[in-house]
Structure 1
Amino acid sequence: MTTTHKTGTREEWLAARMELLKAEKAHTRQGDALAAQRQALPWVRVDREYLFETERGAASLEDLFGGRSQLLVYHFMFGPDYVAGCPSCSSIADGFNGIVVHLENHDVAFSAVSRAPLAKLQAFRKRMGWTFPWASSSGGDFNFDFNVSFTEQQQRDGSIVYNFERDGHAMDAGEPPPAVVQTAAATGTDVPTFARDRPGLSAFVREGGAIYHTYSSYARGMDAIWGMYPWLDRAPKGRNETAPGIWWRHHDRYEKA
């Protein structure tokens, strides 16, 4: 059986590859410009006090910096009623272990933060074989203030603002997509409960005795830190996501080949 994809000679491939290289270089330069634009955003002083539970005990937001000047937080979807962490967040988090030591030695602290109680987070972290810092914001306003957690009332009255848009996510509107139903089931919850927490990334800086919020990103803004996607984008068939649900799992839930 022959392939239906376009084929050619090595010379034809090289000519096409050189054209693609021009586009890739332009994309890289645009990425550099976007990074500079992110870093040029105005800083917003954080005046509220936040309390977290960590494996080292109670901690403030400043404590999460660990003496460093910068802090990156991954808002991991693990609500108080979840049985397991979101499989999408989990597949992103599979790439965290190796980067933390490098960030910490470049004056950047890292922590995942979730609303589930610390004991539940620690048990799931052990199951997944992770070692990165993970703090519980249970009972506090941190997740709500940074627009990754929402109340039942917000769901009912349609006042959720996520990814900088009002009702900008399909989790709570009409019939939920199959991927959302499937993902909620993997966390041991129903869709409304699952949808009260969302993924995100927030950055903070500590300077002059104050803490500032500098950047946040949500939804598909997580693609850039989702380790498997840059690889799949270079695979022959790309992301190849044609099914209505999701194909990835918690890494210990794949059938062994």
Structure 2
Amino acid sequence: MKTPPIVSPQDWEAARQELLVEEKQLTRARDALAAKRRRMPWVAVEKTYEFEGPGGRVSLLDLFEGRRQLIVYRAFFEPGVFGWPEHACRGCSMLADQVGHIAHLNARDTTLVFASRAPQPEIERVKERMGWTYIPWYTITDDFDTDFGVDEWHGTNAFIRDGDRVFRTYFINARGDEAMGSLWSYLDMTALGRQEAWEDSPEGYPQTPPYEWWNWHDAYGEEAEPAQGWVDQTRRGS
């Protein structure tokens, strides 16, 4: 293995600062792409879809759990998939391992669920084995996977609702799924984005000051208010 040059700390920092310029450009480009996603047209979901959950049959609308946005990852765990019945697909399992605590998504009025064709007892068993108990995981019972481009390959679909009307807003698959799992990657693919005041969003979109809505994952709730000490700290930039 041919290594890069070994340099002084000063030269290393100079090289890092040079590369940081490109990293900042990438960050701004990613923000601009997310802004374009927020301006994507929506398509109405006219068909009725049903899933099997831990509590029985539920609709696509039910998956929102009362929130405004829904993200559905199609995970391959079913007969015919490598690993069955002990494991889900290796790639889908790696993505599940990356998923952060969903309470932060929920705090942005967004629900994340996984969906597979495996029966619920098998899903619950593999969730327990792999430590994925925090991920809501449903069984596909109809043409949902075919209709939304995930019948033969994994993918992440984003939806939004207006009352009882559901709309598809975006779709990411293939290598795009590599980045999924963090709070920010999920919010950046949604129609409403991170919902922070610095974002370039259409007029009237919900937005709050950055940082101030952040909380410990066990401290969110309808009555939760930003702690003044935390607000003061974030406004100082420390």
TM-score (norm 2): 0.71
Equivalent residue of 2:58, what SS? strand
**Amino acid corresponding to residue 5 of structure 1 in structure 2:** P
> Which runs of no fewer than 5 residues in structure 2 stay unpaired?
186-238
In structure 1, C-alpha distance between the alignment counterparts of 2:144 and 2:96, rounded to whole Å: 20
1:65-214 equivalences under 5 Å are 65-81=64-80, 82-83=84-85, 84-96=87-99, 98-131=100-133, 132-138=135-141, 140-149=142-151, 197-214=152-169
Alignment: residue pair count: 178
Compute the displacement of 1:3 (Å). 6.8
- Partners in 1 of 2:15 and 2:29 — Cα distance? 21
- Per-residue CA deviation, residues 209-237 of structure 1 (Å, 9 max, x unaligned), is 3100000111001121157xx9xxxxxxx
1:74/1:113 contact within 8 Å kept: yes
| Identity level (%) | 42
How far off its partner does 1:87 sit? 1.1
Please give the secondary structure, in 2, of the residue aligned with 1:74: strand
Which residue is equivalent to 1:43?
42
The residue aligned with 1:222 is 177
Write the distance in 2 (CA, Å) between the matches of 1:118 and 1:86: 16
Contact 1:80–1:117 (Cα < 8 Å) also in 2: no
Whole-Å Cα distance in 2 between the matches of residues 23 and 4 of structure 1? 22
Instruction: Find the counterpart in structure 2 of residue 170 from structure 1.
Output: none
Per-residue deviation, residues 160-182 of structure 1 (Å, max 9, x unmatched): xxxxxxxxxxxxxxxxxxxxxxx
Distance 2:106 2:45 in 1: 22
Equivalent-residue separation in structure 1 for 2:22 and 2:37 (angstroms): 22
CA contact (8 A) 1:91 1:226 kept: no
Q: What's the CA shift for 1:24? A: 0.6
What is the CA RMSD across the aligned residues, in angstroms? 1.8
Q: 1:109 to 1:226 in 2, by over 3 A?
A: closer
User: Secondary structure of 2:98's partner?
Assistant: coil
Query: C-alpha displacement at 1:7, in angstroms?
Result: 1.2
- Determine the C-alpha separation between the residues in 2 that align with 1:216 and 1:120: 27
Residue 95 of structure 1: how far off its partner (Å): 2.5
TM-score normalized by the length of structure 1: 0.66
**Secondary structure at the counterpart of residue 111 of structure 2:** strand
Aligned-partner SS, 2:70: strand
Unaligned runs of 5+ in 1: 150-196, 231-257
Counterpart of 2:217? none
